[in-house]
Amino acid sequence: MAQQHQQRNQPRISRVWPFQHAYYGWAILTAGVFSAFATVPTQGPIVGLFNQQMRDDLGWSATDISIGFVAGSLAGGVISWFIGGLLDRRGARVISAGSGVIIALAMVGLALVQQPWQFWLLFGIARGTASSGGQLSAVVSVASWFVRKRGRAVGFMGTGQRLGQALLPLPIFLVMDLFGWRQGWLLLGGVVLLFLTIPSGIFYRRRPEDYGLLPDGAASDMSGQADVARASDSVEVTWTLREAKRTRVLWLLILAQGGVVLSLNATNLHITAHLLDNGISFGRAVIATIVFATVSALTTLPWGFVTEHVHVRYVGLASTATLAGTMIIALFASTFAGALLFAVLYGLAVGAWTVTSRMLLANYFGRRSFGSIRGFAAPIMVTISLLGPLVAGPIRDTTGSYDAAFIVFAGVFVVSFFALLFAPPPKKSAAVASEP
């Protein structure tokens, strides 16, 4: 009854949101789901569709495509370091909406590229802005409005990302087949404007406490901003960036996430070309990409619910172990059946990691300084992850095969597994809690 009373009397935060008596966090989550969908055009499974087409048309190498991917990842890490604290203080509304405009303009430019340096610059801007202004903004916003229900909220948001990877390849494939790869980039620019700029500009707000609410729509009989703030502090233990940096756990989590991103990004970028090298047709390689994205989309939300009952670290361990195994399967995927086996298991593991990556730092260190902590960790994780595309492209160019690269990726997933294994949640001592 108390929770229903609070929801009926909550402030009218957005006139556009139709469900005024529902907890406004669901509006934040809706924008987060759309944002996750809209950042997919800068990610490996989609860029991988352009990989062979652009190389054949422009005479580029696999390394040329990889450098653009690396430039975008590096830009995203640097920008995240700057905006992490800003998201904690100001919220994501303006940052995310503006990012959508920048990404869309960059994709218009990508439709016109002729030289590798133009691709490096424009895709670097698009991917860097998407990973910081798009993805980080969404993760911080959703984590700020949900604590107990964070697993399902992150699961919904991850489903948006994986649905983008499942739904976008087919129309892109058709556009590329009918009109060419340049028109494919124009299509993706429109997707970003529609699903990132508009929803985030309308719905994003900083924290529930700014409007006299508590996370998850929890009820409170207290009145006044200070009372609500004190009540919110009891929801979870929170760490400052300074405190978190002093723990061994933070550095292990950074190592684990950086390693997974290293292998995931490179795999997503090059798996289509690898399957083509193994003798699988372009159409069937696209189908395998759609299958893995569909499986991850269907399993991300269930994994989110799992993390509300099982610590997210265990989900991460299951994910990294499975991902290591899929790299070995990819080595021998020379038939359509083998490609589908890889796609199903890889999609299942990616769905689990989608939830894990968004929840680890928030669940370990709380939401108050989540943007700052994630922003601090992002450049380090990106620096680690840059090795993936830098390894895969040159290996393919020099050996004519991606096989050695997938062996390396399997080893990196094993390293990430052990980093998580030795990173139990830290305990905040009374001495640390009392520090300014």
Evaluate if residue 297 carries a pLDDT over 90: no
Evaluate if residue 223 carries a pLDDT over 50: no
Asked if residue 2 is part of any domain, the answer here is: no
Asked if residue 72 is part of any domain, the answer here is: yes
Per-residue pLDDT at 433: 45
Structural domain count of the chain: 1
185 and 108 in contact (C-beta within 8 Å)? Answer: yes
Average pLDDT over residues 155-177: 85
Asked if residue 373 is part of any domain, the answer here is: yes
Asked if residue 31 is part of any domain, the answer here is: yes
Evaluate if residue 403 carries a pLDDT over 80: yes
Q: Residue 330 in 3-state DSSP?
A: helix
pLDDT in tens, 29-70: 999 999 999 998 888 778 878 888 888 899 988 788 878 877
User: What is the average pLDDT value for the chain, to the nearest integer?
Assistant: 85
pLDDT in tens, 238-261: 888 899 999 999 999 999 999 998
pLDDT in tens, 364-384: 998 778 888 888 888 888 788
Evaluate if residue 224 carries a pLDDT over 80: no
Say which residue the tokens 């094993």 belong to.
Answer: 414
Asked if residue 118 is part of any domain, the answer here is: yes
Evaluate if residue 428 carries a pLDDT over 90: no
Domain containing 170 equals 17-208+224-424
Per-residue pLDDT at 236: 64
Say which residue the tokens 């940052």 belong to.
Answer: 95
Asked if residue 434 is part of any domain, the answer here is: no
Cα–Cα distance measured from residue 359 to residue 353, given in angstroms and rounded to the nearest whole number: 10
Evaluate if residue 385 carries a pLDDT over 90: no
Cα–Cα distance measured from residue 397 to residue 393, given in angstroms and rounded to the nearest whole number: 6
pLDDT in tens, 193-215: 999 999 999 999 988 888 888 88
Helices (H), 180-281: 181-192, 198-203, 225-233, 241-245, 248-277
Name the residue type at position 261: V
CATH of the domain at 42: 1.20.1250.20
Name the residue type at position 55: R
Asked if residue 139 is part of any domain, the answer here is: yes
Per-residue pLDDT at 10: 62
**Packed helices 169-178 and 150-167: angle between N→C axes, nearest 10 degrees:** 20
Per-residue pLDDT at 432: 47
Angle at the Cα of 207 (from 430 to 203), degrees rounded to 5? 160
pLDDT in tens, 81-112: 788 788 888 888 999 999 999 999 999 999 99
Q: Residue 279 in 3-state DSSP?
A: coil
Per-residue pLDDT at 2: 45
Worst-scoring range by mean pLDDT, 12-16, 102-106, 119-123, 230-234? 230-234
Numbers of helices and strands, H then E, in the chain: 21, 0
Cα–Cα distance measured from residue 382 to residue 170, given in angstroms and rounded to the nearest whole number: 29
Per-residue pLDDT at 429: 63
Evaluate if residue 148 carries a pLDDT over 60: yes
pTM score over 0.85: no
Average pLDDT over residues 295-322: 92
Per-residue pLDDT at 219: 59
**Between residues 401 and 419, which one has the greater pLDDT?**
419
Per-residue pLDDT at 338: 92
Asked if residue 435 is part of any domain, the answer here is: no
Angle at the Cα of 293 (from 289 to 294), degrees rounded to 5? 115
Average pLDDT over residues 206-232: 65
Give 11's pLDDT tier (boundaries 50, 70, 90).
Answer: low
**Backbone angle region of 429, left / alpha / beta, with phi > 0 → left and psi within -120 to 50 → alpha:** beta
